[in-house]
Amino acid sequence: MARFSRTWWGEKFIEALEQFTDEARLRRGRSYARGERIVKFSLSKGIITARVKGNINPYFGVYKTPYYNVKLEIPLIPPAKWAKIIEYLSSKASFISKLMLNEIPDNIETAFSSCQEHLLPHSDKDLITNCSCPDWANPCKHIAGVYYLVASKLDHDPFLLFELRGLARDELQKELKKSPLGKVLSEELMTKEVSLQSSDSLFTKPLKEKAASQSLKEFWHGKKLLKEIEYLQPSAVSAVLIKKQGDYPLFWEKDVSFIEVMEQLYYRVKVKSKI
């Protein structure tokens, strides 16, 4: 399947769902997450609610655009377990430094597994889902669309993973600051930057350098070779507007990358024009 999320934590969320979810049904939700289908979305500790626009289908007697309510619930980690997890995170400089800088370590699950917990969902028991649509299967395409939207939002704010388990970013960083390592790092981050000093001149003063001596005979006979010039390979797609759309623009409903398709099209046109 082509990539939907652009960060490793967003990808890990989708991969975790694929372990216990029908991949074919899960894929049906991709277009719902990319388009204007999800008209409302909210996330609070362990609970995600969304309102999703369905399809008109006269075959099933649906002549007016339907709207369905979706609810996802993820079990919260108990406060006692959170205290042990934070204690583990606070003892590792590699963990605490990244978390204080709003990054998620790629081995974050080791901190949770040490307390017999996990950050990402591991089974269908980790997700209680409900949709008001008539589709009996789980996940339906509306629930799957919300899954992908969550993965997309994780790209922008990975700390939503913690909030889904019951601990907001501010609460986590507040607890981390109480540890010796967290206190040192937070003081360093709060250090005021030195203000820039104004210069007497708006231009850099040129430096004089003595020219290297070289005979005209050596120059014209080319005894001293010039350095090799490195040539950069031109991009397969030169159009800036296509690149700006990204891999999955809103109008693109295919599973393959939009840029990859355009690269192949550009290549074919380029080769054909040379014939």
- Residue 223: pLDDT over 80: no
Provide the 10 A C-beta neighbour count for residue 217.
8
Tell which phi-psi region holds residue 69, choosing left (phi > 0), alpha (psi between -120 and 50) or beta.
beta
> What pLDDT was estimated at residue 219?
65
- Residue 227: pLDDT over 70: no
Structural domain boundaries in the chain: 8-189, 234-275
> What pLDDT was estimated at residue 72?
92
- Residue 275: pLDDT over 60: no
Q: Rounded mean pLDDT of the chain?
A: 79
Range name among 164-178, 204-218, 225-239 with the lowest pLDDT average: 225-239
Rounded distance, CA 79 to CA 75, Å? 12
Rounded distance, CA 142 to CA 136, Å? 12
- Residue 253: pLDDT over 80: no
User: Which band of pLDDT confidence, cut at 50, 70 and 90, is reported for residue 46?
Assistant: confident
Output 179 or 194, whichever has higher pLDDT. 179
> What pLDDT was estimated at residue 232?
57
Question: Do the bridges between strand 47-53 and strand 38-44 make them parallel or antiparallel, or are there none, so unpaired?
Answer: antiparallel
- Residue 73: pLDDT over 60: yes
Q: What percent of the chain has a predicted confidence (pLDDT) above 90?
A: 9
Half-sphere exposure of 64 (CA within 13 A, CB side): 2
> What pLDDT was estimated at residue 1?
44
Output 244 or 172, whichever has higher pLDDT. 172
pLDDT in tens, 74-112: 889 999 999 999 999 988 888 888 888 888 888 888 888
Q: What pTM, to 2 d.p., does this model score?
A: 0.61
Q: In this structure, are residues 251 and 35 in contact, taking their beta carbons and an 8 Å threshold?
A: no
For helices 169-176 and 93-100, angle between their N-to-C axes, nearest 10 degrees: 130
Output 98 or 22, whichever has higher pLDDT. 98
> What pLDDT was estimated at residue 57?
78
Range name among 21-30, 93-102, 136-145, 222-231 with the lowest pLDDT average: 222-231
Output 73 or 46, whichever has higher pLDDT. 73
> What pLDDT was estimated at residue 81?
92
